[in-house]
Structure 1
Amino acid sequence: MEFELTEKGYELFQQGKSVARIEWYVEDNVMQMTGTYTDEVLRGQGIAGKLLNEAVEYARAHDYKMKAICPYVVKKFEDSAFYNDVKI
C-alpha cells in the first residue's frame, strides 16, 4: 500500500480513484489536521491509522507540529503517546 502526497495531504488511489485520504494545511509550521476519509469497502482495515502515521512521519521530517481538528485525529492523539512529539 503506497500513499501519494497531494496538495491536501496523503491519499490512497485504486484504479485512479481516491479511496482514502488524510487532509491538512500548514500554518506557521503547524499541520492543521482537518479530515480523514476511507471508502466504506476499505473501512476496518486500519487504513486511516496508516495515513495518520504517514502524516506524522511527514511532520517529523519537516519539523512541523500537528493540531488535531478532525475527530479521528483528536481521538488517536488522546489514545496514544506515539504522537506526543508532534501534537499540540
Structure 2
Amino acid sequence: MEFSKGNNRFYKEEDGQLLAEITWVSQGDRVGVDHTFVDPSLRGQGVAEQLVDRVVEEMQKEQKKIYPICPYVVELFKRKPDKYEHVQAFD
C-alpha cells in the first residue's frame, strides 16, 4: 500500500477520510513512534505493520533509531525482534 508523507507522519486517505496513519516525535537522533491507526475496514490486512515498515525505512535513511511508544509498535518490536532490533532505540 502506498502512503503519503506528512509532517512527522505517514498516512492513507481516501475521499477525505483517514484510513491509516502512523505518527512520531523527533528526539534528536531518534524518534518516538507514538500513534498508529488503521480504519476497521483495513484491519487484518497487515496495514499497521506496513506503516511501521515505512517509518523504519525512512528512519534508516535519516540514520535515526526508533523508540516505540505506541502500544502496537512496542508489541510488534517484541514479536519480531530479528526484524526490528537494528532500528530500535533503548533507554
For normalisation by structure 1, the TM-score amounts to 0.94
| 1:14 CA drift (Å) | 1.4
Count, aligned residues:
88
Cα deviation 1:25-74 (Å, max 9, x = unaligned): 11112110101000111111110000000000001010000001000000
CA distance in structure 2 between the aligned counterparts of 1:73 and 1:41, rounded to whole angstroms:
20
**In 2: Cα distance, 1:68 partner to 1:45 partner:** 21
Q: How does 1:1-88 map to 2 (within 5 A)?
A: 1-80=1-80, 81-88=82-89
Q: Secondary structure at the match of 1:58?
A: helix
Amino acid in the other structure paired with 1:83: Y
Instruction: Determine the C-alpha separation between the residues in 1 that align with 2:61 and 2:55.
Output: 10
Percent sequence identity over matched residues? 32
Structure 1, unaligned runs of 5 or more: none
- How big is the alpha-carbon RMSD for the aligned residues of Structure 1 and Structure 2? 0.9
